[in-house]
Chain A
C-alpha cells in the first residue's frame, strides 16, 4: 500500500527541486506534483519501506499497512529520535504495541 501524503501538512520541503521523500525513496517513486506537494507516482511499485514516512520533517506522510499484514485500518507509525526509532503499531481492533529500537547511524 502506497504512502499517503497529507497535503495540508506537506510543504514540498519548501518547494525545493527535490523534497526529502523523493531523495530517500529507494524506488524513486515520490515526486512533487504541480501543486508543490509530494505524491507517490507509481503506487503499485511501493515496497512499504517507510523511508519517506520516517524522513518527512513535518510528519505529512502516512504508510497504510498492506492488508496481508494488518488489514485496512491498521497503522504503523514511526517517530524518529536522534539515535532511536519508536514504532507504534495499532491493529484493526485498536490494540497498541510500542517498540523502541536503537539505530546506529553515527
Chain B
C-alpha cells in the first residue's frame, strides 16, 4: 500500500473571543502553517456557520487535507456539536484532534502575552504532532448470543428472567434448590403492604409458567464461566431430581407411601447445620415432610423431587406406586455447557448464623429463642391456623421480645447494617397483633432504622400501649427447668432505668450476608467481593455491572435489600444485561493492541489488567479479549517494553507530543510541568478551574489519559530526559477509580521511577502523583502552584538545554 503523507488542516476557533483578546490569532495561524504536516491553517471566524463547514467539506473532498486539528476554546458541548456536523463530511471521527487552548486560561489577562502566545503555539505543535499519527478507526463488531443465563431463582432472578422473556430472549434459569422462590418463599408477609409473598411470586411466575423460551435448571449450579460478553460458555452441574418433570402430574400418591419423615423447620433455620430439632425453631414447628416432596421452597416446577440421601436402602415404594412411571431412582448428576450473551447473578443472601451470638441471647440454648426468618415461618403457620398449636412457646403467647441488630452493626460479626430488619420487625409485630391482638411486644434496639415510608409504620406502632421500645440490649436467662420461660434484663439508655420482662418468645433480627451460592459464583466467575463481602461493580457509577462486562448482579447478591429494592435492582440488572443480547456488540475502536514484534511475553499486562482481559494466543503472546476490555489502558501503562498501545492513544503519539516540549516556551528558570490527567476526574477538574474563573499557572501542559494507570514510565522518562522539570500524574481518589486500582498501580510505578531518579542523582520530586476529584478545580490550581514552588527550589532539570 502506498504510504500516504498526512495532510493536516488547522482551524483556530475562538467563539467567545477570549483568546483573541490577548493573542493575535492571525499571527498564530501563520506560524502554525509552518508546522510539519500542516497543509492549511486559518482562523475560523464562525465555526458553526454553514459557509465555514462547506469550505471544510470542499477541502476534504479535494484531498487538500485529510485530518483536522481544532485549536481554540470549546465547551464539550460545542465539541460534540461540531463532531456531529462534521460526521456528514466524510471524515472519520478519529481523525479530529482537539487542542483546547481555552483550558489553560490563555487570554484571560494581558500579563505575559508573549509567553501565552508561545504556549499556544507549543500546544498547537503538540496537537499537530499527534494529528500526524492519527489513524481512521471503525468500531469493532462481535456477534452476540441472545440467550441469558440467570443464576439464582429467588424473587430477583425471577424478575430478571421475566424481563428477558418479555423481550423475547431465551433464558436459562439456574437454581440450586429444587424449586424457585428463594428466601421470599419463606416469608409470611412483605412490608409495607402486608402482601402474601405467594401472590408476588405467582405474579412474576405467570409469565414464566408457559414460556417455551425458559429453561429451568433446578438443583444446579454454575461450575465455570468462560468467554466474554456476548459469548459466554457457562458450565452448569445439575444434581438429579429422580423424577421425570415431563411425566410427573403432581398427584402426590408417592408421598403417601414414602416411609421417611423429615422435619420441615430446616428450610428457614438461621444457623449452620447440623440443626437440632429439640432446640429453637425445631421445637416450635414439628411438621414433617416426606423424602419425596414437591419442589422447595416454592412448588415450581410442579414436579416432585426425591431427597435420595435419606431414602432407606432398597426402598422403591414411590417408584412402584407412581401411575405415570415418572420416577427413576437411578438418575445420575449431569453437566452441560450453556452458551450465553450475558450472565446475571441473583444469588441472594444467607442468614448470619445466630449461634455465633448465642452467648448473648441464648439462641440454640433455650427452645423459644428464634431468628426473624424462623419467625416468618411461625407467623405463616399461625395465620393459616397450621403448625402445632400445642408446642409450648407459641401455645399461649402473651409477651414476645424482639432484639434488633443481632450480628449486624457489630465489628466482631457483620460491620454493616442489614437495613431491612428494623422494618421487618415492625411488620412482624403488626402481623402478630392482627392474629393475636392481646399480645404484648417489647423491642430491644440500638437505633430504629426504618427508611423512607417505613417510618410511618414505626411511628404508628410507637403510639400503641402494649408495644414497648427499649433502647438497649438485654441479657436473656431461662427460668423454668426446660428454659422455656425467658427473662430479659436490660437498661433503657433513654430513661436510664432498668427493664425486667418475662418473655414467652424471643425473636432475634439476624443479619444478612452474601449467600454461599454468591460466594461460589464469585469464585467461579473470578469476580472480587467488596469490603462487606458482597458482589459489586462500582458502588455508585455502575452498581449492577461487574468487572467482567456481560456479567451483572442484582438483588441481595449486591447487599442487604428488602423485597421491593431487590426487584428494583433486578430490573436494573436485566436492563444492563439486555445490551449484550442484541445480536451483536459494538466495541469502541480504542481498544489495546499488542505489538508482537516488541512484546517479550513477560505477562505483566496479564497480571495487572484489572478486568482479567488478557489470554495467551497460540504463540504465547498476550491477547486482549475485546468483549471484556474496558479500555482503561492499564496494560499500556504497565508494559515494560512499551509494546501495548490503545488505538487513538498510542505510545508513539504521546512520545511525539512530548518531543515538542524539548524547546520550552518558558524561560530557563521557569519550571515546565507535564501533567497527565485522568479523563474521569483530574481533567474535568482542570476544566472546572478555568470555568470557575481561576487562572491556572502557565507552566503546565496537560495530557488527557483514559486512566492514570495508562501512563507508561517510558513516556515519563522521555519527558524527564527532554528537560521537562516536573511530571505530574493525577488520578482519582483511592477507591474511586473506575478501573478498580489504576491509581494504586501508578503510585507503585512512579515510586519505582522516583527511586531510579534518586540513584541517577536527580531529585525524585520531579515525578509526583496526586489524587484529584472532579470538582476540585481550586485544589488543582493549588497543586500546580505548590509544585511550581517546589520545582523552583530544586532548580532546572539537569537535562534541560
Contacts of B608 in A (CB 8 A): 14
Q: In the bound complex, do residue A82 and residue B602 qualify as a contact, i.e. CB atoms below 8 Å apart?
A: no
Q: In the bound complex, do residue B602 and residue A16 qualify as a contact, i.e. CB atoms below 8 Å apart?
A: yes
Q: In the bound complex, do residue B760 and residue A82 qualify as a contact, i.e. CB atoms below 8 Å apart?
A: no
Contacts of B654 in A (CB 8 A): 82
In the bound complex, CA of A86 to CA of B720 (Å): 9
**Scoring A residues 89 to 106 as 1 if CB is less than 8 Å from chain B, else 0, what string do you get?**
010000010101000011
Contact of A24 among B600, B752, B755 (CB under 8 A): B600
In the bound complex, CA of A24 to CA of B799 (Å): 29
**Contact of A82 with B753 at beta-carbon distance under 8 Å, contacts A19-B602, A55-B600, A55-B640 already known:** no
Contact of A59 among B603, B642, B756, B762 (CB under 8 A): B756
Contacts of B759 in A (CB 8 A): 62, 75, 77, 88
Contact of A23 among B602, B607, B642 (CB under 8 A): B602
**Contact of A82 with B603 at beta-carbon distance under 8 Å, contacts A20-B640, A75-B759, A98-B798 already known:** no
Tell me if B321 is interfacial: C-beta within 8 Å of chain A.
no
**Scoring B residues 593 to 628 as 1 if CB is less than 8 Å from chain A, else 0, what string do you get?**
000001011111001100000000000000000000
Q: In the bound complex, do residue A14 and residue B651 qualify as a contact, i.e. CB atoms below 8 Å apart?
A: no
In the bound complex, CA of A9 to CA of B749 (Å): 11
**Contact of A59 with B761 at beta-carbon distance under 8 Å, contacts A23-B601, A98-B799 already known:** no
Tell me if A74 is interfacial: C-beta within 8 Å of chain B.
no
**Contact of A82 with B642 at beta-carbon distance under 8 Å, contacts A59-B755, A88-B760 already known:** yes
Give chain A interface residues in 27-78, CB to chain B under 8 Å: 55-59, 62, 75, 77
Q: In the bound complex, do residue A82 and residue B718 qualify as a contact, i.e. CB atoms below 8 Å apart?
A: yes
**Min CB–CB distance A13 → chain B (angstroms):** 5
Q: In the bound complex, do residue B604 and residue A14 qualify as a contact, i.e. CB atoms below 8 Å apart?
A: yes
Chain A CB count within 10 A is highest, among B602, B604, B755, for: B602
**Min CB–CB distance B790 → chain A (angstroms):** 21
**Min CB–CB distance A22 → chain B (angstroms):** 10
In the bound complex, CA of A13 to CA of B720 (Å): 25
Tell me if B641 is interfacial: C-beta within 8 Å of chain A.
yes
Tell me if B236 is interfacial: C-beta within 8 Å of chain A.
no
Contacts of B756 in A (CB 8 A): 59, 77, 79
Select from chain A the residue with minimum beta-carbon distance to B760. A88
**Min CB–CB distance A24 → chain B (angstroms):** 7
Give chain B interface residues in 728-743, CB to chain A under 8 Å: none
Contacts of B600 in A (CB 8 A): 20, 23-24, 55
Tell me if B326 is interfacial: C-beta within 8 Å of chain A.
no
Contacts of A77 in B (CB 8 A): 756, 759-760
Q: In the bound complex, do residue A57 and residue B721 qualify as a contact, i.e. CB atoms below 8 Å apart?
A: no
**Contact of A86 with B721 at beta-carbon distance under 8 Å, contacts A9-B752, A59-B756, A105-B598 already known:** yes
Given contacts A14-B607, A82-B714, 13 further A-B pairs with CB under 8 A are A23-B601, A23-B602, A55-B640, A79-B721, A81-B655, A81-B714, A82-B655, A86-B717, A88-B761, A90-B761, A96-B761, A98-B798, A106-B652
Residue numbers of A with Cβ under 8 A of B are: 9, 13-14, 16, 19-20, 23-24, 55-59, 62, 75, 77, 79-84, 86, 88, 90, 96, 98, 100, 105-106
Query: Closest 6 interchain pairs by CB?
Result: A57-B640, A81-B718, A82-B655, A88-B760, A86-B721, A14-B607
Chain A to chain B contacts (Cβ below 8 Å), 12 pairs = A9-B752, A14-B607, A20-B640, A57-B640, A57-B713, A80-B714, A80-B717, A81-B715, A81-B717, A84-B717, A84-B718, A84-B721
